[in-house]
Amino acid sequence: GNGTLQLSGSFFNIADCLAIVLVTPLAVLWFDPSLSQFFRGRFSHGEKFTLGMALAVLSVLVAARLELLRKVAPVLGEASNCAPPGVGMSDMKGAWMMLPFFLMGVAEIYTQPTLLHYAYSKSPPSMRTLAMAASFFIAAVSSALFALLVSELGPYMPNDLNQGHLEYGYYINIALGGLFLVLFLAVLPREPKP
């Protein structure tokens, strides 16, 4: 063809994985000890999960901003391979989506292990396997909830995204994340200082 390359949006998930692989050692060896010292030893489940959720919100805000910039970018004469026939590509590099995916990977370093550790450490030994299975089941349910959200927002997310409002989905996800953060913190008992 003409030398252009079109990638599926799921390709950019590689940035999420790279963030986890590259930033986890930094988090364990440097960020966590520094934050624990800064918070005078109070960098535990609640603080780690809140940091992860804040990074996740930043990731989603960046993605929403990129979507708004994409919508005002000129539409090229070339059809998109990942949209229905007749929908053109926007003149914006898809590589920009690596940034919110990378940020989400860093957020996951603080949310997922924190939730798993909390569930495991607070469960009686006979229930730990069930606690882990329930954690992974809840993660799967959250993916299903996102699919339901996308379905419900169908009128705002037509096949031609230039005619819709994909950013609404991002903002609703931020609100849901905030709600679940508040609920988690509300049921999290105050942990004693180490």
pLDDT digits (tens, 9 = 90+) for 152-169: 888 888 777 888 888 998
pLDDT in tens, 5-60: 667 777 889 999 999 999 999 999 999 999 999 988 788 888 999 999 999 999 99
How far apart CA 70 and CA 80 sit, in angstroms, is 14
Write down the pLDDT at residue 1.
43
Work out the number of other CB atoms within 10 angstroms of the CB of residue 21: 10
Q: Taking a C-beta distance cutoff of 8 angstroms, is the pair 177, 56 a contact?
A: yes
pLDDT of residue 96: 93
Contacts of 45 (CB under 8 A, 6+ apart): 114, 117, 118, 188, 191
Q: Which of 102-106, 116-120, 186-190 has the lowest mean pLDDT?
A: 186-190
For residue range 46-101, list pLDDT tens digits in order: 899 999 999 999 999 999 999 999 999 998 887 777 777 878 788 888 889 999 99
Task: Provide the pLDDT for residue 191.
Answer: 57
pTM, 2 dp = 0.85
pLDDT score recorded for residue 60: 95
Per-residue pLDDT band for 192 (boundaries 50, 70, 90) equals low
Cα-based distances in Å from 139 to 30, 66, 116, 135, 175: 28, 26, 11, 6, 18
Q: Which amino acid is at 97?
A: M
Are 73 and 92 in contact by the 8 Å Cβ rule? The answer is yes
Q: For residues 88 and 77, what is the distance between their CA atoms, to the nearest angstrom?
A: 6
Exposed/middle/buried for residue 135 (C-beta within 10 Å: 0-12, 13-18, 19+): middle
In whole angstroms, give the CA distance from residue 110 to residue 47.
Answer: 9
* Mean of the per-residue pLDDT values of the chain: 87
